[in-house]
Structures are given as C-alpha cells and as structure tokens.
C-alpha cells in the first residue's frame, strides 16, 4: 500500500479523529492550543485513493539559541501501528520532520503491551518478593506489540527512558483503566473492592454531593489543586494553563473537558478534570482539601465520573498514570492502591521512542535535560 504524507488542516485532522472509536486527547488538534509554548503542525497520511488513513499532531520545541527543534508526537501518531509495513508510515514522517528543522523526534505509540487485572496486582502487593508490576505475571499480553517494538528498533528508533527523562511533558508508561464495554453499571460497582464500596456509601450518608462546574469555577479548582500540590510535593500548573485548556478543548468540542466538584456542607472539598475523546474518557487532574477526608469526597467523585462516562457510552474510563512500584514504602504506592480499588486493570504502553535525526544535537539535548 503506497502512502503519502502531507500537512493537513485542523478541520481535516479533527474530522479524522471524530471518525475513530477513540484517540488520545493529546492527538486532537486543540491540544496544540493547550501547549502554546510549542509550535505545532497537523500531519495526514493518505492512501493510493487519496483517502486520509492516519493523522498526527506534532509539537515543535526550539532548542535554546539555535533554529533546530525537538519534534514531539505525544501518544501518537494515530496510525495503524500493527501494519506490516510500519516503515512506510514512519519513514516519510521522519523525512518531513527533518525538513522542518527537527534534530530529534519523540513519539508515544498508543500500543498496549500487557494488562494486569486487580486480582493479579493484589497478589503482587501481598507477595514480599515482588517489588514491581513487571515482576507479576500479566493477565493479558499483546504479542503484536512486541513485533511493533522490534520493527521500531530495526528502523533505528530508541526506547526512551522509563517514565521519560526530564522533558516534563513525558507521558506515563503505566496507566490504570476501568473497562466499561459490555458491562452493566451494577457489574462495575460490584468490581470495586469493599473499601471503595464502603467509602461511596459513607460519602452518600455524610451528604457529599458531586456537581459539574464551568469555566468560572476554575479559580476554585485551582485553590484545591494548589493545596494538593503542597501536600504531595509537586509543582502545580498555573490557573492560566487550565483556563487555556478549557477554552481550547471545549471550543473544539463542547464536551471535550469537564470539571467536577465534591461538595460537603456547601464547601468544595475535592475536584477533578475529565477529558473525553470518542469512547475514551480520562480522569486527568485531581485535587482535594486537607480536611473532611473522612467524608470520602474523592470516592464519591470518581463514582459519579465513572457513571457519567458510562452514560456517554465510553468503552474505557482511564485513571491515567501509576508508578509500577508495588512496594508499600514507595511514596507513589498510595496511588496504585487507590486505583486498584476500582477493580480495573493496570496497562503498560510501549513507552516513548526517540529517533535522533542529528546524533550530536540529540546527545546535547540529553545532557542539557539531565542537568536541569
């Protein structure tokens, strides 16, 4: 199959994404507006009949002082990754990006290698010899994913560092997902562990109410998010980032981003943002106050968001990144523990891959990033 690659309009790109069952929220055209500090381009792959058969959002970040760029396709491009002629898809992309002044390309194939169900993860947590998710036998393995990795290696792509080195916008290798396809809500609820079910009931009894917010409620979101950042020792994004995200994503599709608050006695005690692309729904950012944790607002909010995702016809509710550590002394362990309670699955993606178009500059960037 002969493929041609060229720049496409945002409208063409969006129409293509809308024709698919799902795609990453980082591959919709509006994501370029969220990442306004990068230059962006929309790429399209066309087959011999002139039909658009793949798309990619490229973000270009300029190197300090010189007109050369890192080209980044977060969780993309959106192509047929299992195509036996994968080279025919990626070679023209590399040639094009090189022409655009890219010295290195980073991409994140949206390909899942392994899945572990909750029971497998729990047994891993209980086994003192197991320290990492990868030490636990997977419940499901996608053999074709290994072929994709092999093809990429043969072409000269290099697997990025686990968790990604320093670029700040690097995507998680391990995520946690609750599958919704062909399941009843009752079945999803039954899949929760006892503690989750108890906490949902507790929140209900305490009178926790979960409501949707709008753009004007983003400062309230920011207040809770900054409390969370201080408690969990991370650097918060500014309010302007979430305002830009809301405006950009919801201008593209009025139902792309949602904001939720868990209210108790007229006070917002937890909040979350939700992103929607086709049948894939993500819980993307979460925040909570330091007090009133005993009324379990976070459990109530997740259950409401899950039900709303289900009502939208979602096939998967994605709780985003987890660390692969199953060690109870690890500071990120609480995250996987909280998410496992939903009865979903941990999934491992193929991770991010780099192609150095200019080996010297690629190396220089690596050194620059490791020192930051």
pLDDT digits (tens, 9 = 90+) for 93-109: 999 999 999 999 999 99
The vertex-28 CA angle with 24 and 31, nearest 5°, equals 100
Instruction: Enumerate the domain spans of the chain.
Output: 4-108+352-370, 112-142+162-349
What CATH superfamily is the domain 112-142+162-349?
Gcn5-related N-acetyltransferase (GNAT) (3.40.630.30)
pTM here?
0.93
pLDDT, one tens digit per residue, over 2-22 is 899 999 999 999 999 999 999
76-82: average pLDDT: 97
**Helix ranges, the chain (H):** 10-18, 31-34, 86-99, 118-126, 143-155, 185-191, 194-205, 218-232, 239-252, 297-311, 333-340, 359-371
Predicted local confidence at residue 161, as pLDDT: 66
SS3 labels along 271-314: EEEEEEEECEEEEEEEEECCCCHHHCHHHHHHHHHHHHHHHCCC
Mean pLDDT of 111-132: 95
Beta bridge partners of 7: 43
pLDDT class for 168, splitting at 50, 70, 90?
Answer: very low
Q: What are the percentages of helix, strand and coil residues in the chain, rounded to 5?
A: 40, 30, 35
pLDDT above 90: residue 32: yes
Looking at every residue in the chain, the average pLDDT score rounds to: 93
**Residue 166 confidence (pLDDT):** 35
Domains 4-108+352-370 and 112-142+162-349 share a fold: yes
Would you place residue 361 in the very low, low, confident or very high pLDDT band (cuts 50, 70, 90)? confident
8 Å CB contact between 60 and 71: yes
Asked if pLDDT for residue 164 goes beyond 60, the answer is: no
152-184: burial string, b at 16+ Cβ within 10 Å, e else: beeeebeebbeebeebeebbbbbbbbbbbeeee
pLDDT digits (tens, 9 = 90+) for 308-358: 999 999 999 999 999 889 998 888 888 899 999 999 999 999 999 999 998
How much is the pLDDT for 332? 83
- Please tell me the CATH code under which domain 4-108+352-370 is placed: 3.40.630.30
Range of lowest pLDDT (8-22, 26-40, 167-181, 308-322): 167-181
For residue range 219-272, what is the model confidence (pLDDT) as tens digits?
Answer: 999 999 999 999 988 999 999 999 999 999 999 999 999 999 999 999 999 999
């Amino acid at each position: 199959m002969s493929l041609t690659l060229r720049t496409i309009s945002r409208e063409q790109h969006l129409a293509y994404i809308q024709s698919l069952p799902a795609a990453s929220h980082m591959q919709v055209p509006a994501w370029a507006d969220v990442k306004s500090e990068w230059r962006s381009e929309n790429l399209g792959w066309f087959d011999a009949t002139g039909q658009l058969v793949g798309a990619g959002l490229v973000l270009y970040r300029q190197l300090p002082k010189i007109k050369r760029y890192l080209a980044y396709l977060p969780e993309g491009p959106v192509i047929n990754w299992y195509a036996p002629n994968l080279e025919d898809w990626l070679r023209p992309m590399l040639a094009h990006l090189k022409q655009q002044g890219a010295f290195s390309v980073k991409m994140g194939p949206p390909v899942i290698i392994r899945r572990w169900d909750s029971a497998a993860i729990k047994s891993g947590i209980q086994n003192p010899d197991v320290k990492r998710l990868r030490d636990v036998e997977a419940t499901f393995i996608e053999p074709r994913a290994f072929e994709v990795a092999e093809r990429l290696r043969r072409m000269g792509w290099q697997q990025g560092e686990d968790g990604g080195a320093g670029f700040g916008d690097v995507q998680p290798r391990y995520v946690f997902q609750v599958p919704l396809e062909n399941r009843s809500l009752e079945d999803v609820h039954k899949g929760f562990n006892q503690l989750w079910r108890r906490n949902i009931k507790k929140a209900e009894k305490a009178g926790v109410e979960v409501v949707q917010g709008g753009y004007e409620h983003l400062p309230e979101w920011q207040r809770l998010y900054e409390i969370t950042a201080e408690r969990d020792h991370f650097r918060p994004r500014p309010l302007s980032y979430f305002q830009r995200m809301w405006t950009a994503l919801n201008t593209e599709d009025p139902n792309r981003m949602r904001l939720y608050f868990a209210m108790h006695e007229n006070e917002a005690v937890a909040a979350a943002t939700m992103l929607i692309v086709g049948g894939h729904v993500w819980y993307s950012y979460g925040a909570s106050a330091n007090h009133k944790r005993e009324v379990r607002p976070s459990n109530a909010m997740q259950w409401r968001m899950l039900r709303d995702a289900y009502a939208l016809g979602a096939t998967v509710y994605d709780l985003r990144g987890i660390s692969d550590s199953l060690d109870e002394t690890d500071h990120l362990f609480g995250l996987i523990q909280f998410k496992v309670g939903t009865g979903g699955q941990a999934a491992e993606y193929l991770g991010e891959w780099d192609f150095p178009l200019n080996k010297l500059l690629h190396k220089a960037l690596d050194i620059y990033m490791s020192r930051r």
